[in-house]
Amino acid sequence: MAQEQSNIKERTHIQLKEPRRYRVVMCNDDFTTMDFVVIVLKEVFFMSKEKAEALMLEVHNSNRAVVGIYTYDIATSKVEKATKMARKYGYPLRLIVEPEEE
């Protein structure tokens, strides 16, 4: 008994889409020290001391600055980590997550 083989190949077209990205924005306040902001930027966002200091000054002078762009899960995780760190030391540091414009 001979087996029949099918020469039909099924093609499936899958269109992959990049996941939406979100900005993490740090807001200025009158109580969180500049030194603490630099520590957060270095420890949570893995910035060099120089980049962290420059971004801290941007937050201070502009009242807010984008500190990173990530997928939603990573952005919210970083905001949560930075907020917990700030509360532990008694600072009201505020970070928000907002969708990146397309």
How confident is the model over 82-99, as pLDDT tens digits?
999 999 999 999 999 999
How confident is the model over 21-64, as pLDDT tens digits?
999 999 999 999 999 999 999 999 999 999 999 999 999 999 99
**Strand 94-99 vs strand 21-27: parallel, antiparallel, or unpaired?**
antiparallel
pTM: 0.83
What pLDDT band is residue 16 in, cutting at 50, 70 and 90?
A: confident
Domain residues of the chain, as ranges?
Answer: 21-99
Q: What is the pLDDT of residue 4?
A: 58
- Cα torsion 76, 77, 82, 85 to 10°: value is 130
Q: What is the pLDDT of residue 5?
A: 60
Please give the CATH number for the structural domain made up of 21-99.
3.30.1390.10
What pLDDT band is residue 8 in, cutting at 50, 70 and 90?
A: low
**Strand 21-27 vs strand 64-71: parallel, antiparallel, or unpaired?**
antiparallel
Answer yes or no: is pLDDT of 80 > 80.
Answer: yes
